[in-house]
Amino acid sequence: GESVGLHLPTLSVQEGDNSIINCAYSNSASDYFIWYKQESGKGPQFIIDIRSNMDKRQGQRVTVLLNKTVKHLSLQIAATQPGDSAVYFCAENQGGSEKLVFGKGTKLTVNP
Amino acid sequence: EPEVTQTPSHQVTQMGQEVILRCVPISNHLYFYWYRQILGQKVEFLVSFYNNEISEKSEIFDDQFSVERPDGSNFTLKIRSTKLEDSAMYFCASSDLAVTNTGELFFGEGSRLTVL
């Protein structure tokens, strides 16, 4: 069945450190992946996405890595700031479907 | 910056009552969605809507649920007879392109539904 999950439910880092949030997926037919950030009391906010024909994509302070061999997705945040504290979800999409399947989320806490 | 707006922010209702959650998507968007998030759990897809009809729905979206775009701006989710397990945060989202075409979903801040 479909399953998108995360290895760790919480992650605590020091301000200025780099953060790595991981995600495993099981649907090998998924070809589009997105990372969302959800701050307390708000809706998910798009961070970065990647299609399955790529293995790396960079944005501003964020990088997404995709390893299709082991069905693994990661989000790297450089120089983590207190404003990065939130719950991070990975989501997957299978071509032809409008549905995003979300993982359970990792709560990132940035300590000053 | 354009945003998706949802009302009410919180609604408390009795089991068996009808509830309508309202959303105003971003004005030039063509694809509309409802997701829900039970407290502490992951975000779950309910339904997608395009060209005035449902394009896809999940097994959660049973006959008790319906969606409507009554005019050019609103997008509503109706739950006909609420159950305790319908208690959740309901998120509306919209995009200008289909998800499968790398359309970025913009989510509203959610409507919290509490069924007593």
pLDDT digits 0-9 by tens, A23-60: 998 899 999 999 999 998 889 999 999 999 999 999 99
Q: What is the pLDDT of residue B103?
A: 80
Percent of chain B whose predicted confidence (pLDDT) is above 90 = 84
Instruction: Give DSSP secondary structure letters for chain B.
Output: ----EEE-SEEEE-TT--EEEEEE--TT--EEEEEEE-TTS-EEEEEEEETTEEEEE-TT--TTEEEE--SSS-EEEEESS--GGG-EEEEEEEESS-GGGTPPPEE---EEEEE-
Q: Is the pLDDT of residue B71 over 90?
A: no
pLDDT band at A2 (very low <50, low <70, confident <90, very high): very low
All residues of chain B having their beta carbon less than 8 Å from the beta carbon of residue A95 are 100
Average pLDDT over residues A19-24: 94
pLDDT at B25: 96
Tell me the pLDDT tens digit for each residue of B32-54.
999 999 988 889 999 999 999 99
Q: Distance, in angstroms, between A99 CA and closest chain B CA? A: 6
Tell me whether B25 touches chain A (CB under 8 Å). no
Half-sphere exposure of A84 (CA within 13 A, CB side): 28
Number of other residues whose CB lies within 10 A of the CB of residue A76: 17
Mutate which: B105, B106, B109, B112, vs A, most A CBs within 10 A? B105
B 45-84 residues inside an 8 A Cβ radius of A = 45, 48, 50, 55-56, 58
Q: Kindly state the average pLDDT of the residues B67-78.
A: 92
Nearest-CA neighbor of B37 among B89, B108, B72, B111? B89
Nearest CA to A23 among A73, A58, A57? Answer: A73
Interchain contact, A97 vs B55, CB within 8 Å: no
Question: Could you tell me the CA-to-CA distances from A37 to A23, A48, A68, B74 in Å, in that order?
Answer: 14, 10, 23, 26
